[in-house]
Amino acid sequence: MNTHDTQLDPRMHPQQAVYGVIGNPVAHSLSPLIHEQFALQAQQSVHYGKLYADLGQFVKTVDTFFNRGGQGLNVTVPFKLEAFQICQKLTERAKAAGVVNILWQENGQYVGDNSDGVGLVRDIEKHPFQITGKRVLMIGAGGAVQGVILPFMEKKPNQIMITNRTLAKAQAIVDRFLPQAQAFGIQLSAIALDQIMHLQEGYSIIINGTSSGLQGSSPLVFSQAQHLQHVMQRGEIGLTYDMVYGKETDFMQQMSACGFQVKDGLGMLVEQAAEAFEVWRKLPRGSLDTGTVLQMLRKPVV
């Protein structure tokens, strides 16, 4: 498999079901390696590659892929909202997220789903770390946070607080999901990022849903990280999770120095990929061995 080839053409693989990941950039993606392992596990004749799309050319690139016989795409940055917009049918969790990361066709119509939240929840619970009854702090108010709110609420934490530099964006997510939160009996609220030092209660799970890790920065200053540890209940060890994977981010270093358990987003990537493969290939949910694949990806290159 050529890891640098980002011009996926289904016509080049006539004997296989062809899937791929579309993004900009996309050359760095681990998804082909992950799906290759799932195909071996499930004994399925599948080819999974990378598909680069120029900005402004997403719809044309997707149409070409499916017209040439492609069967499904994972969608990564910056196209998840565009993918949502071209779908004639959406799953309930895609509607809730407002963005799509799994795309396929049924009867010539685009169908969209979102597995990011399910992937994150599964990875945290396999850590193992319980979400039910806990207090959760989510940093950021973009598509990443929006996409995981509902699957988190389904696990019935006690509270979800969303914090963002621009309070209005965080509050917009709260307003959107308030009916579901009330139905689940969850306290859902928002706070501006610069008000973190005013929090009087600790959070067992803190999730960085911003892209700060990609830019080599953290959404928090060190004093804020220290404060979040200071207000934790005595004896409780919190989990901090950065959705970015592939390195120990500045956020993870900060939180580790303050005594939190830290985790990157590689497990989330594997879990959301498994969900996509199972949806596309009509396999029972949870039938793939994600642990072995994650262990393989974490092995140091020798």
CB–CB of 194/219 below 8 Å?
Answer: no
Q: Scan for tokens 């994972």, then name that residue.
A: 74
Which of 50, 60, 80, 89 is labelled catalytic? 80
156 flagged as catalytic: no
- Distance between CA atoms of residues 120 and 137, nearest Å: 14
- Residue 139: phi and psi, rounded to 5, are -100, 120
In this structure, the strands spanning 102-106 and 109-113 are antiparallel
Q: Is 168 exposed, middle or buried (0-12, 13-18, 19+ CB in 10 A)?
A: exposed
* Secondary structure letter of residue 186 according to DSSP: -
- Distance between CA atoms of residues 260 and 133, nearest Å: 19
Catalytic residues: 80
